[in-house]
Amino acid sequence: MSRQISDLKVILQQLIVEQGNLLSQLEAQYAAMKKFDIKTMLEVGHDQEATRLRLISLEHKRRALVRQIAAGAKLNEEPSITRIMELFPPYASDFENLRGQLRALASKISQRANMATKLSAAVLGHLNTAVRLVAGAIERAGIYTRSGGPKVASRIGVMDAVG
């Protein structure tokens, strides 16, 4: 059982490293978004996807290992880290430390992702407004007055009707 516990500690440490990588990538993406650096945003996006795949792989390993620990402890459900700390008190301080680090990173990642989402929404809102203005100008194409307003023809000529 101690082998599985030490393997779980290693996987949690790897999760912390990958979460840290994801946080730094999110910060780089946010900085690139503020500068409108498309090349950097694409590169960081690819890096983030690779990190997410590694995180998913580590999470699957962690779940499989926790299921093995649960089976060894004759538990019916998948135990949380808190429950594992209760079952194995000598390792409780290590797991408490790892859990705290994971929670702190998850909180920072959530905040940074939320900020990037808000920035993206603002940029898309501005682009939407620009497209609507251009579409409106195209819709009312014709002759414009000196003040910039469209001039409506008083009658449609034969050439205009034929098109």
Contact 87, 5 (CB under 8 A): no
Query: 80-137, pLDDT tens digit by residue?
Result: 888 888 888 898 999 999 999 999 999 999 999 998 888 888 888 888 888 888 877 6
Residue 43 resides in a domain? yes
Residue 62 resides in a domain? yes
CA distance 114 to 118: 6
pTM above 0.75, yes or no: no
Residue 122 resides in a domain? no
Query: 41-76, pLDDT tens digit by residue?
Result: 999 999 999 999 999 999 999 999 999 988 888 888
* Enclosing domain of residue 94: 2-115
Query: How many domains does one find in the chain?
Result: 1
Residue 87 resides in a domain? yes
Residue 155 resides in a domain? no
